[in-house]
Structure 1
């Protein structure tokens, strides 16, 4: 006979799944409320209502609003980083079609990492709350944009070793690549607009052409010299 003090294995699994579902529901609801109301304006009661849980359930999981906010930021960063490294895995390894391949990479980076839902969410929170509550974004500072530039720096170094690029400082080049990719999109994203694929492609093309003028091997970027005959 089973000891009544020991829950059945199936019951334990069901309880754990239920707890995970509640946590996910709370995080999703909290993200929506924090994005709309900001940290100071968000209330646990509103989050509980959107998550369809009780106020006490939220406190049981996260103790206080600040803990919940940090958990939301961490959750979004984890998803964003998973997408980021998926995109980074498509970085070109050869220079056969360098401009085209880098343009396609820059397009994917903007579409899937900068202008997607998680990217817009993090940007909005940092812009509206970062100055007032900098300690809440410590994980973002450690795991956010720095991961992109560090990884991109290593990829540019590998490409440079093949002779396709001429780069003295890979960290600077990585930051400039990202900045150029965002240059044509900043005004659009600043006011909450979502760029079209055509706008993303145009921004990526402009960014890569400028980047290659600065770092491309001369033979790849300089126009051929014309010989004037009969002069």
Structure 2
């Protein structure tokens, strides 16, 4: 038993580690089984903890699922924001830089395979999940990343490199062109495409995007 003035650093660290083990296990189980079929017992077994330990951290399966979805989406968002900042910080060759951006953006499908397994299950069960949960997922992950991409496209338009009066729509078109075929053909990363195939799809997508959005020289 600790004294009143003794900082309980070890217990706090232990609680944090236990919580991380639970959320990691939950992401694995939800990604494998979906929300409806996943059980607290299965998550406890995956985490190597008791079900009581899970209930000490989370009031039930729904809160655990919400937490996992938002934390996982936040990790992918941060990675995508880093990609945008790295690849569009200093654009010198627009097409080459957009291809580099696209390759790094699409690579998150495999880098965060557990997250996109979760996304596959969310899409499959969307009709049976609360809309506010789906909105919270979008607000935490995809929307901020897309907003920043739109912001950067707006800057490129201001520099005269893109003709994008609606940068948000341009960003949506860009992601569809460089990502949708890879996503669909790989089943959201479940069966990754060969790198050469991915690069071919992305290069073609960037080319089409620039046919629509590259600024034209004024006569």
Aligned counterpart, 1:32: 28
Show structure 2 runs of 5+ residues with no match: none
Instruction: Evaluate the alpha carbon distance shift between residue 55 and residue 101 of structure 1 in structure 2; reply closer, same or farther with a 3 A threshold.
Output: same
Show the 5 A alignment for 1:20-169. Answer: 20-93=16-89, 96-112=92-108, 114-116=109-111, 117-135=113-131, 136-169=133-166
Structure 2 residue 174 is the aligned partner of structure 1 residue 177? yes
* Structure 1 Cα separation of the partners of residues 163 and 26 of structure 2: 46
Q: Name which of 3, 6, 10 aligns with 2:4.
A: 6
* Structure 2 Cα separation of the partners of residues 184 and 77 of structure 1: 21
Instruction: Evaluate the alpha carbon distance shift between residue 91 and residue 8 of structure 1 in structure 2; reply closer, same or farther with a 3 A threshold.
Output: same
Aligned counterpart, 1:206: 204
* Structure 2 Cα separation of the partners of residues 37 and 108 of structure 1: 28
State the superposition RMSD in angstroms.
Answer: 2.1
* Structure 1 Cα separation of the partners of residues 89 and 211 of structure 2: 19
Cα deviation, 1:193-228, whole Å, max 9, x if unaligned, reads 112322221122111100110011235xxxxxxxxx
Between Structure 1 and Structure 2, whose CA radius of gyration is higher?
Answer: 1
Q: Name which of 188, 201, 209 aligns with 2:185.
A: 188
Structure 1 segments of 4+ aligned residues over 3 angstroms from their partners: 93-96
Show structure 1 runs of 5+ residues with no match: 220-231
Cα deviation, 1:50-107, whole Å, max 9, x if unaligned, reads 1111111101100111111111111201211121111111233555311111111111
Q: Secondary structure at the match of 1:205?
A: helix
* Structure 1 Cα separation of the partners of residues 118 and 34 of structure 2: 12
* Structure 1 Cα separation of the partners of residues 142 and 151 of structure 2: 15
* Structure 1 Cα separation of the partners of residues 90 and 210 of structure 2: 15
1:183 touches 1:203 (CA, 8 Å); kept in 2? no
The TM-score normalised by the length of structure 2 is 0.89
Higher RCO (CA < 8 A, seq sep 6+): 2
